[in-house]
Structure 1
Amino acid sequence: MKKILKITGISLLIIVILLLVAPFIFQSQIKDMVRNFINNSVNANVEFADVSLSFLSSFPQANVTVDDLKITNFEPFKDETLASVKSLSFDMSIKELFKKADEGPIVVNSIYINEALINLKINKFGDANYDITKTKENIDINTEKSEGFTLNIEDYAITKSVLTYLDEGSNTKLHVTELDHSGSGTFSESVSKLNTKSEANVTLSLDNTEYLSNNSVKLDALIDLDLKNSKYTFKENKGLINDLPLEFSGYVQLVEGGQNIDIAFENPGSSFKDFLAVIPKVYSKNISDVETSGNFKVSGKIKGLVTEKTIPTLDINIVSNNASFKYPDLPKRVENISINAAIKNTTGNVDDTFLDLKTLNFKIDEDEFKSSVVIKNLTKNMLVNANIDGVLNLANITKAYPVTLKNELSGIIKTKLNTNFDMNAIETNAYDRIKNNGNISVNDFVFSSVDIVNPLNISQANVSFKPGTVTLENFKATTGKTDLNATGTINNLLGFLLSDKKLKGDFNVISNNFLVSDFMVEGGSDRPVNQSTEPNDALKIPAFMDCSITVDAKTVVYDNLTLTNVKGKLLIKDETANLQNVTSDLLGGKLNMTGLVDTKSKTPTFNMDLGMSNFDISQSFKDLDMLENLAPIAKVLQGKLNSAITLSGTLGDDFTPLMSSISGGALAELLTTKVEPKNAPLFDALTSKLSFIDFDKLDLKDLKTALKFENGRVTLSPFNINYKDIDVTVAGNHGFDKSMDYNVIFNVPAKYLGGEVNRLIGKINDNEVNKISIPITANLTGSFTSPKVQTDLTSGVKNLTTQLIEIEKQKLLNNGKDKIKDLLGINGGNQTTNGSTNTQTGSPVKNVINDIFSSGNTPSTNPSAPTDSTKQPVNVVKDVLGGLFGKSKKKKDTIKQ
């Protein structure tokens, strides 16, 4: 006995060892088998990471597993992925692995697919990407009988997979996720049965109409397979769409040119709770404890041919009468529910499919809501005829149904409206085909959101509908301290609500008090305003708006500025706001604005023309950062300003200009202006250098100048001002960083340049001397807060003193000439008795002196006498008479530096 057990144990051990070792022995053979089968079966590029063989996992059968399988199409779907599978495994008899070439194809009993991603596609030309099987003539005649697979499936499974199907010709889309499907049966007989279980989330749309939206679907189906006639009959089939149970029967048969379908279905029960079960659980929550009354029945028949030109006829009905429901944790009940809806097609032509919602009524408390709608021509130019009549208290929605709203809602909406239109009319703005009649009113509507600082309270709003026109009869609302009162017209409200059309209209907005801060979220300086996007994203003008807005606001408050009597027009289109003749009272004057703000690009830009009239200078340059950067020194001025400014640049996230980006120009005129230089470092520095000017008495009235600014610097065109009888010329530039480089030239009369100079002027006692002035340049550098002033008064005074001394000498010389002439009795010649002058008479000395003081020729009485051509006559006289008048040395004039 021990020997038998020992032999048995050794045998089992050998078998186990063989089962473990065999896969390694036959690994290469298995890879070749799989590779050859693929190459001889499909027209596609197939790749896989590895092929493994196991005798233990599926003993007594062998298991072949292909890892990371990927199938990529050839033309016309070149390089598109048809399928990718994490693992694909086959179970087959061990003997199938050792079949010889003449023993027939390999029989596969089970197939398991895990984590597959399958993309099935039919393009607009009818080509299918899954049609990759090689035709018979393309198969090697020597391998046709020797290699391949025969499917004799006992069971199969697909787990954790995704299937996408797209038919571009019929615009059909099917998206199946979280697919788990399994089945058992056999395909080897002509008639057999297949028992399947399926579970997935399904989204289905036909021609852009979505019929299923990620709905949970479960299906247990027993299917008769008539492979000879390609007919598949459903027996004992039960399914769930969300939690709605359905039973169905019928068949699908493949025929030439399409499929023949005959299927009927209905829900086995009739409780209204079945209706709640249709709604996805994310919205309906747990319905197990919901109290319901009334009935709910869904039934349908789908019968006919599916071809390129036809669909089966449809007769699907949904009916509920006098139903109600109440969630146990909510205070309100929804009652008097009536539903009567049908989806029909009686011709098989897809364009003849229509939805007829005869009744959709309900009541919450005393508020009744009634509606009906017919939608035809679903696949092309959809036709809609709807009637809505009812009252809806928004606050009761969350009290009766477990829906979680992102933002709080309250208010009462009253609607009585009939609308009749086709979608093409909306898309082409053919307003004559859009028939709207009725009105909608909103009262005490409150909307709050993280995107706005304060709740929006609409006390009253009325919208009336007439063919082609929607009129906003009144709109009264408040948010924070802001009040709004608007009227206007909307041209394409349905286009905006039902498609991607822009909201077009003309509006008039009146406000007594408008605070910009009521529409801006709080945060850092880089925080964007009134939006829920990331903090680094700038505010955008809505792309959906194409509106004209006329504004009349008594008071607008922005930051520390208060604008009054704001009027003008704002055109909003293509993410651009165009301001047209916007006027306002500001800082004691009038402001006029024209320009645009463009937010199409990532960084918003602006281009603006500003006209300012009678602005208070001191206040303007104190409260307006842009003006202070343009002329920092102006804040010490008192008086009025007229200015025209043209500027462009980029805006920051809070819609204020980025100063470094600004370029443009300005013309400025000062009215009734004086200087208040107290506590101004620049004027303190100038006063310390220039004692002859008192800036308190500087008059800038009627001053006009021009500015140009670009790349962060402001260039000042030269301009002149007067201080008493001093002419002043100013020119230069400064930066937005307050740095400066200016030259100020003072044409200073001599009398202002010190006591010594004044005494010298008094001694000369000549009116022409009083008119003499010298230019003194003050170079201003550094910054407006820490200025550096350099002047060169010494050289100017020195030059002036030299001029005055020279004038005094010339005056003395002229006086000396007259004295000499009187002393020598020289009167320019003797007169004859008849009054004529005799230049040839008189003494020789007189003639010589006359010649000296004449045109500068040498004395005519002695033409041969030597002359000194280097000395002018005046210099000769100075040499001769120098001792007579004496030469007193003058002290240098001094001036206070």
Structure 2
Amino acid sequence: MKRLLIIIVSILVLLIASAVALPFIFKDKIVERIDKEISESVNAQVYYDFKNISLSIFKRFPHVSATIKEFGIIGNPPFQNDTLVHMDRLQVDFNLRSVLFGDYPSLTGIHLDGGSLYVKVLEDGTANYDITYPSEETEPESNFQIGIDLIEVNDFDVVYDDRQLQYFMALGKIKMEGKGDFTLDVYDLPVKMEAMIADISYEGTNYLRNKKFKGETLMNIDMDQMKFSFGDGDFNINDFLFGFQGLIAMPDDDIELDLTFEGKNNSFKSILSLVPGIYTDNFSDIKTSGTMDFSGFLKGIYNEQSFPAFDVSIKVADGMFQYPDLPRPVSNINLDMQVKNATNNLDNTSVNIPTFNLDFGTNPVSGRFFLADLLTYEMDGALKGKLNLEEVTSIFPVEGLTLKGILDVNAQAKGKYDSAAQIIPTIDAKMLLSNAYIKSADYPAPIENLNVNASILNPTGDMNDFLVDLSQFGFELEDEQISGRLKINDFSLLNWDGALKGTLDFGKMLAIFPMEGIIMEGKVMADIQTKGSYQDVEAGRYNRLDTRGSASISNFYFTSADLPQGIRIHQADADFSPDRINLTKFDSRVGESPLLASGFLSNYVNYILKDDETLKGQLTLNSSKFNVNEWMTDTGSTESSALTVIELPKNIDFNMSVAAAEVLYDNLVLKDIQGSLALKEGVLSFKDASMSTLGGKVMMNGSYDPRDLTAPKFDFSLNLANLSIPQAFQSFNTVKAFAPIAQHLTGNFNTNLDFSGTLGQDMMPLLSSLDLKGLLKVTEASFQNSTLLQGITSLTKLNDTNTLQFRNLSIPIEINQGVMDVKPFDVKLWDYQANIQGSTGFDGSINYLINMQVPAGEFGSQANALLAAISGNQMDQSTLIPIAINLGGTYNSPKIGLAGGNSIENLLTSALKSRGAAEKENIQEQAKQQFQAAEDSLKKELTLKSQMIQDSLQKEADKKISETKDKAVDEAKNLLRGILGKPKPAKPDTTKKN
């Protein structure tokens, strides 16, 4: 990182020094020198405009100030879409005497106004700030001196996205000021800073979000030792004030920490400002009272094996807060909490909360908790409280919601958890919710008679005395009732006995508890009893489990942002037994496609209760018309979105019998589909699948394997019968690429193919990855109006028609790494016997050799006279003259030539001399050898190109997978924009250097 800073400053010094050197006279040379220095030192794209560099001696006299606007750096792959740093305006000050008379300029001030820094570290440790070329030197040499007495930063954003450490930080609207003198390696920096903390997360847990930060301290920075020391300073997060001092050092892979912190002059309102949802625009109007104290330290080594020792304590005494315009407060808030670990092992962390109490209006809640460590989990805790829900809305601002009822909680736990000794804490916990009532302003009817009676008991601490008893659960919504019970005993066996019965209207529930972006309606009716033991589940003894009953869904509809196509279930009925769920009826419409299903599911209990278990089943699926395209796009619109890879679940083992009258896939219409499908371990296999399409019949066996989403595989055996050649050309990109001749063919074909390769992210086969073997059979076809055919007739003069008729052709073909190799096959071209061989590349290139045997009389009187003059004899019709034709270029722009001569006359002379000399190898053999030598060279080039393309596509696919994680960064940036309230100036959309 230090090298990065020096490189950036070096570039700026070079740019600014150039501004002094008569830029209007030497501009071109200066720009050329700048670009040269950048290209030799920076492995990234640097953008700037020479016109945006200015010089002034009046801004900080007696210093000379140079300013550059719109300067930045964009990374090279894999960071080509990430702007590492962008600066709206950067002013750099130099000591005037050093510029005029010194050997090197002395840097005295930095002023940054607007911009952003985005640091990104991938899972493998690759970082986008590592933009310097490798050097044997430990540090780049510096030809300038640093003695800064002023640093100013205003309106700057920083996003740090470390996917190796799983650490994420987004800071916005940073304002910083530092003063003093320091050297390049060790220096003191008094600094003031303000920022908006948009997000700070570690290992998936968010610690701070949408908080205001302000701080002032004295930093000592030792770049050689990578040590950062903090003097006694004052810091604020929202209204919470604390002191912070100590050091952070990173001399090697370890992180050394020695930090202490404590609250300063805080009241209860200070810590209240940290609670999400409370620190709003009217926070200053909230009435508060009470005191608060906070202190702690963090000291030790952090690495994969060690965690620093720490001790953090918080105390709140006599706290109270009350929202304006609401009648009741939360009062008598007292908290004493200490989280401590005196070792370098995080498992030795203890938590002690000897005091906790508060009053929700007139309802007191109190508790205590002690946890000795994270190994034995020895604990002692209690929680007691009684809450009148009707008072909640008079304490907290909850618009449009009416609550009633009494919630009574009384819980105690003491002891330790030891699975080997079959010991758990003694527990006596009871929760009672009585006559609860919930009414939303968005729906006229309330949820009534909501009652929950639950208890957790273990009087002895033995696992077999453990009991969870949900003796009562139920509610009513517009004369529809839900009721249930559940009892679990013996912590080691987890025996259960429960039941659920009633009707639930999803539309009504969603109206009362709305969820953004979701539409849901319909009813579910259930009557289920279940009894068993989790020990039997683990052992697979499903015959001992007793889950039975029935459930039905009617008029169900669901759609969301993630499922815009929507699912509608007209009617679904299922009954349950211990070993399976029988789906007796499933009448639905998924998106725009009707779907009927029946069958069964097994291993469902294990699948629900355990991780890494597989749901098994056998289903029969029927559809009159199924549109696959709408499930292969992000938005459900085939017009606006490209097809994307379909991921398959790895914990599903289904055998499916499928029948569909019509299926739409890409631009294909498939009819009368029949076959068996198997989904197992994330791979979809096809067996004896058949369909009608392109005027013929397709039989198929094979598999689709998307387990590697960056390179999904397919492997099929196809039997194609009586398919239309022109329709195949219009429908298949593969045919367009490898058989472009099909666009000028009429007729049908039959073939058996073994076909495998990789799919792109658009679910289309990557032509460069294809492997194929098969025999193409054409009973009868017509070839006409082709540029290729016109070229052959024009060259040979053998026939002036642009139509060829083919009958009973058998063409062996093979595709390997994107190159189609056509083995030699015999064919009649017009009335002449011919043999054709060659190849077509995935890039559209063709390379073919046609050997023809042409009767001498077909060449015309002038050619026959030439033949007679050379041979001394009159050539008769039975004399066959060999002709070899080379085809190259592309199909639509072919290069056609004759082997053995550049004209028919030269070719005939060479052919006749070859015959007269009775040479062992005639002209066709010579042409074949020359062709094969050239073809081998072309195949090597195509294979290399194929591998390069696949590597490039693999990187592109990896990038798309990574974009999922990039969404967190985008969300953070959007949050910054939302918090800051004004858009940043647009950054340049080009990396071109001026």
Q: Which bracket does the TM-score occupy, shorter chain normalised? A: 0.5 to 0.7
Q: Which residue of 1 aligns with 2:314?
A: 181
In structure 2, relative to structure 1, the CA distance for the partners of 1:265 and 1:518 (3 Å cut) is closer
Q: Which residue of 1 aligns with 2:246?
A: 68
Q: Are the equivalent residues in 2 in contact too, given 1:586–1:615 (CA < 8 A)?
A: yes
- Whichever residue aligns with residue 496 of structure 1, its letter is Y
Q: Which residue of 1 aligns with 2:747?
A: 639
1:337 corresponds to 2:515:
no
1:508 corresponds to 2:627:
no
Q: Which residue of 1 aligns with 2:843?
A: 737
Q: Distance in 2 between matches of 1:477 and 1:540?
A: 22
Q: Distance in 1 between matches of 2:672 and 2:361?
A: 60
SS of the counterpart of 1:463?
A: strand
Q: Distance in 1 between matches of 2:297 and 2:558?
A: 42
Shift of 1:805: 12
Q: Distance in 1 between matches of 2:425 and 2:914?
A: 116
Q: Are the equivalent residues in 2 in contact too, given 1:453–1:520 (CA < 8 A)?
A: no
Q: Distance in 1 between matches of 2:676 and 2:595?
A: 16
Query: Which residue, 874, 877, 883 being the options, matches 1:776?
Result: 883
Q: Distance in 1 between matches of 2:502 and 2:625?
A: 35
1:489 corresponds to 2:625:
no
Q: Distance in 1 between matches of 2:916 and 2:367?
A: 127
Q: Distance in 1 between matches of 2:331 and 2:766?
A: 56
Q: Distance in 2 between matches of 1:554 and 1:649?
A: 29
Shift of 1:238: 2.7
RMSD: 4.8
**Larger Rg belongs to:** 1
1:579 corresponds to 2:579:
no
Shift of 1:264: 6.8
Shift of 1:499: 3.3
Q: Distance in 2 between matches of 1:610 and 1:383?
A: 52
In structure 2, relative to structure 1, the CA distance for the partners of 1:542 and 1:471 (3 Å cut) is same
In structure 2, relative to structure 1, the CA distance for the partners of 1:446 and 1:65 (3 Å cut) is closer
Q: Distance in 2 between matches of 1:727 and 1:251?
A: 96
- Whichever residue aligns with residue 706 of structure 2, its letter is T
> More relative contact order in 1 or in 2 (CA 8 Å, sep 6+)?
2
In structure 2, relative to structure 1, the CA distance for the partners of 1:611 and 1:285 (3 Å cut) is farther
- Whichever residue aligns with residue 523 of structure 2, its letter is I
Alignment of 1:316-355 (within 5 A): 316-328=429-441, 330-355=443-468
Q: Which residue of 2 aligns with 1:652?
A: 760
Q: Which residue of 2 aligns with 1:148?
A: none
Q: Are the equivalent residues in 2 in contact too, given 1:292–1:326 (CA < 8 A)?
A: yes
Alignment of 1:387-402 (within 5 A): 387-400=499-512, 402=513
Count of aligned pairs between the two proteins: 615
Q: Distance in 2 between matches of 1:704 and 1:249?
A: 86
Q: Deviations over 1:342-370 (max 9, x none)?
A: 11112222453221001111011121111
Q: Which residue of 2 aligns with 1:681?
A: 787
Query: Which residue, 283, 291, 294 being the options, matches 1:158?
Result: 294
Runs of at least 5 residues in structure 1 that lack an aligned partner in the other structure: 1-46, 55-63, 73-77, 92-112, 115-154, 164-176, 184-194, 200-215, 224-232, 531-537, 807-897
In structure 2, relative to structure 1, the CA distance for the partners of 1:805 and 1:570 (3 Å cut) is closer
Q: Distance in 1 between matches of 2:504 and 2:609?
A: 21
Q: Are the equivalent residues in 2 in contact too, given 1:575–1:598 (CA < 8 A)?
A: yes
Q: Percent identity?
A: 23
SS of the counterpart of 2:571?
A: strand
Q: Which residue of 1 aligns with 2:326?
A: none
Query: Which residue, 696, 710, 728 being the options, matches 2:816?
Result: 710
Shift of 1:477: 1.3
- Whichever residue aligns with residue 635 of structure 1, its letter is Q
Q: Distance in 2 between matches of 1:496 and 1:234?
A: 39
Q: Which residue of 2 aligns with 1:794?
A: 905
Q: Are the equivalent residues in 1 in contact too, given 2:260–2:296 (CA < 8 A)?
A: no
Shift of 1:618: 2.1
- Whichever residue aligns with residue 246 of structure 1, its letter is V
Alignment of 1:307-322 (within 5 A): 313-322=426-435
In structure 2, relative to structure 1, the CA distance for the partners of 1:234 and 1:730 (3 Å cut) is closer
Higher alpha-carbon deviation: 421-430 or 518-527:
518-527
Q: Which residue of 2 aligns with 1:87?
A: 261
Q: Distance in 2 between matches of 1:410 and 1:697?
A: 63
Q: Which residue of 2 aligns with 1:857?
A: none
Query: Which residue, 213, 238, 246 being the options, matches 2:357?
Result: 238
1:547 corresponds to 2:648:
no
Q: Distance in 1 between matches of 2:829 and 2:598?
A: 57
Q: Distance in 2 between matches of 1:324 and 1:595?
A: 57
In structure 2, relative to structure 1, the CA distance for the partners of 1:700 and 1:341 (3 Å cut) is same
Q: Distance in 1 between matches of 2:666 and 2:244?
A: 69
Q: Distance in 2 between matches of 1:776 and 1:572?
A: 55
SS of the counterpart of 2:877?
A: helix
Alignment of 1:448-487 (within 5 A): 448-487=559-598
Q: Deviations over 1:738-782 (max 9, x none)?
A: 221211112000110112466899999999933111011121112
Return the TM-score normalized by structure 2: 0.54
Alignment of 1:360-439 (within 5 A): 360-378=473-491, 380-400=492-512, 402-439=513-550
Q: Distance in 1 between matches of 2:799 and 2:396?
A: 86
Q: Distance in 2 between matches of 1:311 and 1:686?
A: 90
Q: Which residue of 2 aligns with 1:267?
A: 385
SS of the counterpart of 1:634?
A: helix
In structure 2, relative to structure 1, the CA distance for the partners of 1:322 and 1:613 (3 Å cut) is same
- Whichever residue aligns with residue 486 of structure 1, its letter is A
Runs of at least 5 residues in structure 2 that lack an aligned partner in the other structure: 1-226, 235-241, 272-290, 300-309, 322-329, 338-351, 918-994
SS of the counterpart of 1:701?
A: strand
Shift of 1:486: 0.9
Q: Distance in 2 between matches of 1:660 and 1:526?
A: 26
Q: Are the equivalent residues in 1 in contact too, given 2:319–2:331 (CA < 8 A)?
A: no
Q: Deviations over 1:277-300 (max 9, x none)?
A: 9xxx9xx98458854444443334
Q: Are the equivalent residues in 1 in contact too, given 2:456–2:469 (CA < 8 A)?
A: yes
Query: Which residue, 334, 352, 356 being the options, matches 1:220?
Result: 334
Query: Which residue, 452, 459, 472 being the options, matches 1:359?
Result: 472
Q: Deviations over 1:112-167 (max 9, x none)?
A: x99xxxxxxxxxxxxxxxxxxxxxxxxxxxxxxxxxxxxxxxx993269999xxxx
Q: Distance in 2 between matches of 1:243 and 1:592?
A: 76
Higher alpha-carbon deviation: 607-616 or 360-369:
607-616
Q: Deviations over 1:813-845 (max 9, x none)?
A: xxxxxxxxxxxxxxxxxxxxxxxxxxxxxxxxx
Higher alpha-carbon deviation: 323-332 or 588-597:
323-332
1:720 corresponds to 2:826:
yes
In structure 2, relative to structure 1, the CA distance for the partners of 1:323 and 1:301 (3 Å cut) is same
Alignment of 1:82-231 (within 5 A): 85-87=259-261, 157-158=293-294, 181-182=314-315, 220=334
Q: Which residue of 1 aligns with 2:672?
A: 565
- Whichever residue aligns with residue 596 of structure 1, its letter is S
- Whichever residue aligns with residue 238 of structure 1, its letter is N
In structure 2, relative to structure 1, the CA distance for the partners of 1:443 and 1:745 (3 Å cut) is same
In structure 2, relative to structure 1, the CA distance for the partners of 1:640 and 1:292 (3 Å cut) is closer
Q: Which residue of 2 aligns with 1:589?
A: 696
SS of the counterpart of 1:633?
A: helix
- Whichever residue aligns with residue 627 of structure 1, its letter is V
Q: Are the equivalent residues in 1 in contact too, given 2:314–2:336 (CA < 8 A)?
A: no
Higher alpha-carbon deviation: 539-548 or 797-806:
797-806
Q: Deviations over 1:673-706 (max 9, x none)?
A: 232x12x111111121233236666332111111
Q: Distance in 1 between matches of 2:228 and 2:872?
A: 115
Q: Distance in 2 between matches of 1:634 and 1:755?
A: 36
- Whichever residue aligns with residue 562 of structure 1, its letter is V
Q: Deviations over 1:49-91 (max 9, x none)?
A: 467699xxxxxxxxx988236899xxxxx9899x864425999
Shift of 1:446: 0.8
